[in-house]
Amino acid sequence: MLVREGADVQGADPVTGLMPLMLAARSGHAELCCVLARLGAGLEAADGEGMTALMHAAANGQAEACAALLELAGPAGLMRQLRRGNARAETAVMLAAASGSGETLKVLLRAAAGAAATLLGAQAADGRAAAQHATSDAVRGVIAEAEERAAAPSRDLMEMLGEGKVGGPAGSVGRGRGSTAPHARLDSLMRMGWSCQSTRG
């Protein structure tokens, strides 16, 4: 309604400094993220702490919102979004680990595919990597399996993380296989139960 009345989709709340896309992402409103992006909300925009919409979604354990935002980023912007850090050099992967949501971390690592180990090894300004940000057994399990995968490159990372699965028991893995090409990463995200394409009227 506010958008129809001419509200600025890039306008930041004067108190929190958060833009509509960030608020939608942190609240898990994946479909609204898709709508706002189509209306011009910038995926690369950051708040005063350097937090993008993807980071807000990851920090709040919003797996579907993360999947939507990565799909919206497209092949060209997907890895840029995943490698980017906030003012404390914390990436979306670190923030997802801190949220305690294994499902959210899986979404991010599946999108990263062959670069997952690099993202897990990156360090924030305080020297902590994703493993040191972990706050749940579910997250620790996902990280441990990803690190095991990196130590045995003959196996497929996509197989370890599970083909098209976001839900399921904490730390569970599937047996699917998939390509690590950017378009395949996006196809994989879209098979997680819904896609921004489904929100088009």
Task: List helix spans (H) across 113-181.
Answer: 116-121, 130-133, 137-151, 157-161
* Fold of the 20-199 domain: 1.25.40
| Rounded Cα–Cα distance for residues 163 and 177 (Å) | 6
pTM of this prediction exceeds 0.75: yes
pLDDT given for residue 195 in this prediction: 67
* Domain boundaries defined on the chain: 20-199
pLDDT at residue 183 is higher than 80:
no
More confident position, 110 or 17: 110
